[in-house]
A and B are shown apart, each in its own frame.
Chain A
């Protein structure tokens, strides 16, 4: 529990509507987009000014009170899960777009601005912000920086880290720093890359400058249906090795198609075992040529049907279904557990096959939604949290899927972050020396481990415990493979 003394300090700097203390008000903050993990916070702070944030961090530093940061609470790795005795600091009131510079093609925004709001505001200048997580309608850019979020268009345009120019942060020591610059590179170590994806462990972000891209002259989306998931998986590799780099290359299997179609009415073929959505963009000529090439590859890979979107409205519908696919599976089961592994593209067919087998072994349906082009898998394990042991079973299946990814030379997270969810799998991914190095980096910024403690990087002790419980732990298959 947080002490009364800390609460009194907080009351002195925050107005009553910016400081929640009653259990009734706190409970709705107990979880983010990953509802299997819940912990009611002791205090929620909703500051409105940077001065309040500074004072709050000073109080936390002086009293040794941990702080957990939260954006819109759409994350799916439990990064914003409250920690006992900590202040939950929600940055949602910092929701202003400060400046758009159409000539430099940059936007300067506060951390609570929604990802999509940046593109909406930039649209007036024919520009947009490229990384587009599926939750882009709601997730905040501050959260995107913390998790190094990806999205449908990251295959061609990169993750958050490739699209942020600079950030202004505040450390727990009260030091304000601008990291990065308006130029594409800055002298010294690339600390911007370190901060991006640091999951609220190093500093709090106060302001972010992002790159904006000109909207392509033309965009076209192809939808291909397959009667076999593995064929769809093979087609993904074939498209890219055929020399086309699509702006987006996504895959959904039958269950995901069913759920997404029920929400979006996009016209997805409900009898297909899998569909691929392929977006190509560029000049008129490039797009015309790429559409034909992609179509040929898809048909050669065994697609039963290839359609191109009739117009922009249909393109939007194709994507609307895909982007809402996670929550839309809420129509099929009361709860879902979203995984986020990556694998080399060539391993896709084999991994898909094994996931189907695992799903049958655990008797839990798995809907598959992939950023297929980047080999980033999002198997959604469907379960019913009201049934006893259902979550535990889903979690074990999830762990097996992640370790399957590592086994094929992949990683345990593509874009959702580690949070609390994948912290045990960090022990599978990394050895003790690497983890110690991570702790060393953390200590440079936050010596007393007050920022988001217990997330993202496991202690060696935790890994030892996990290894003891877990049969596969410590005995990695393919030990010769490089881990990253």
Chain B
């Protein structure tokens, strides 16, 4: 009874077809999206299991084999200090994926809660929250990261903290809009009439109905977070050497490019593009799917 009309109508249709998890995912993502998801899965797994899979210690310098170019021992070559580029890519992808992941996790949780509170309470609370979001929105993410670094010094965590604040409005704006729409639907009034509390309705009724949009927006933002974080590392204000990070690898590879050895810069640059492209494609498909369900 308390559950929305939508659900009672939907259930038999779902039961009739019984699509598996994979099929459902494919329906939402389409061909390009599924391909992107597979590539991203492959990259994430290689990054996650880098300690087991990487052929070399990413920090081990073999100065005799420095800037070797692709060889049988080093399939992607070595960098200026003779470190294996493939191993560094695998280790670097961990930071490049985990950092932005943390940014998005934090900003999505805070943004969603703020947005739902704004949408539910309305009035002055909504005005104040929207106002704060507008101010955050007016300033690009990377500036927040730089402010954070200026205060607490360069490190992965200060950048993540700065970006997490900067990314709050992206999620919050979308969720607030969706929340306002949901709020006026009959199932919410029904729950209200049954004596459920505002917070209860928001989190047990509205949240499940906007989760598709939340996830789609989070994934879309993840692509931008990867770019911003890598950029800050490239500037030397984020992840500090000798930790392997894709942004840093482009930076150190850049110096080698000037000496005629592009392997490291190309490898790291291409991997960043690939990651961001996959994330963006998946985000786009999920956004379209979430919209068409409204």
Q: Do A and B come from one complex?
A: no
Chain A residues packing against B (C-beta within 8 Å): none
Chain B residues packing against A (C-beta within 8 Å): none
